[in-house]
Structure 1
Amino acid sequence: MTVNSFEKGGDGGGPSACDGHFHSNKDHWVALPPATFDHNSNCFRKLKISARGKSTVATVIDECAKPCKDDIVDASESVWKALGVHRGISCDTFNNVTVVDLTGASISGNLTSAICALSNLTALTLQRKAFTGPSPIGLLHCKHLHKLDLSSTNFAGTLPTCISELSKLRILKLPNNSFSGSIPPAFRMVAKLEALFFHENSLSGEFPNFFGELKSLKNLTFDNNPLRPGVLPVGSIRVLRRGGLNQNSR
């Protein structure tokens, strides 16, 4: 089970697939992988979820964004709380730290590259933190990251041009920050990207056409940025949110 936001402006992408609306994270919602969601056939189904001797019931309201394994359920924060499951640190069978999720922890100040000393770290989530300073260049030393979630972390400045150093990155979430400037061409070099969330920033310039070159990219959001219209990617990419491109560009 992974945590997911179902609220507007959250890291979950667009409105829920079942009813086209956003929903409060204070209620029990889940998003199912595509194979189980089965083209909306399981919408509003009640699921019993159990963990650590506790159980709760949640309602299916969405399809989780790819990449999403068939045995994974995205759940709202209230589901986690009801089950008494705390996010934090996960290790592999050799006790190497592989996942760090500090959502909800009271952390602020500058973010350095020290966390990248965890050489087996593959997923880092730092949602809703009061960090200061420009874009977190130091995290580019975390070479093995598959997922980086910096949603609502108060970062500002331009996007790092050396993003291509994270060659294994599959999921990048940067919504609800103050990133500005253009989207650097270096993003075309992150060939394994499957999900990229840019919404609710201050990115400008022309919407880049190189996203169509990313053959693994399945989900893309960029609404509420003052981007000028460009060539939207076609094919297998699911453009979840693009309203800002039309509303804010002139």
Structure 2
Amino acid sequence: MAVKVLFALYPLLQGDYRAVEQALSTLEASGVEHRVYPTHTELSGEEEAVFRALEAAFKAAAMEGATVMWALFTNACEAKDPFRRPERLKRFPPLAIARKALEGLKAQSVLDIGTGTGVFAEAFASLGLFTVGVDPRSDRLEVARAKVKKARFLEARGESLPFPDQSFDLAFFGLSLHHLDPIPALREAARVARRVAVLEWPFRQEVALPEGQTDLREQEEGPPLERRLSPERLQVLFQQALGSPPVILQEEDFTLALWENPQGI
């Protein structure tokens, strides 16, 4: 069985960190997957290997003096990532969409707003761009950090981005703008980037199939029609937020709106 453990070591002699150093060195030698944070360490893997690594780390620390260790065990089996289901990736091919969003733009950096588990951030990073993904959900960001090593991820909301003006070449909303307050989110995106791209679901009601028939694409989860942003609605939102409409690219399975900052360089 796979487990995940959050644990920390505390030497009883305050200020003596040799015990912690010994524990981390032993953990490093164990080969068990782990990440060290300022307040604790996370360990994950098969149950027996994790228990052996914890025992060895505690014994190594205890050789330096009295030591206390706490540990929280959880099931490490991850739920399937809804953003990476094969049918969703087929419908919204990340690399092809990333290239469409960048077409004609000499870009070196991208901000992926509402990054989720980093699907589109991974595509942009694979093209050699400095990529940052932001999302308000820390659980999704943890998955993104584990799966996408070439991008950076930060907890933040699209309506209030913690970046200076014109920090990026492209600000990208990958199926995320309809989850946000669109006017302030678009204004923030235009403040930090010289191009804004919005990927949106096609504005159509998904067809209900007759009983007994299955079609993965038709059963794809997505927002109801009233939550989706139609091309016409996107035009209005950009006009209200930024003073000019976007260029709309319509494909069978998605809509992509592109807007250029007239003051961008």
For the pair shown, the structure with the greater C-alpha radius of gyration is 2
TM superposition score category, shorter chain reference: under 0.3
- TM-score (norm. length: structure 2): 0.27
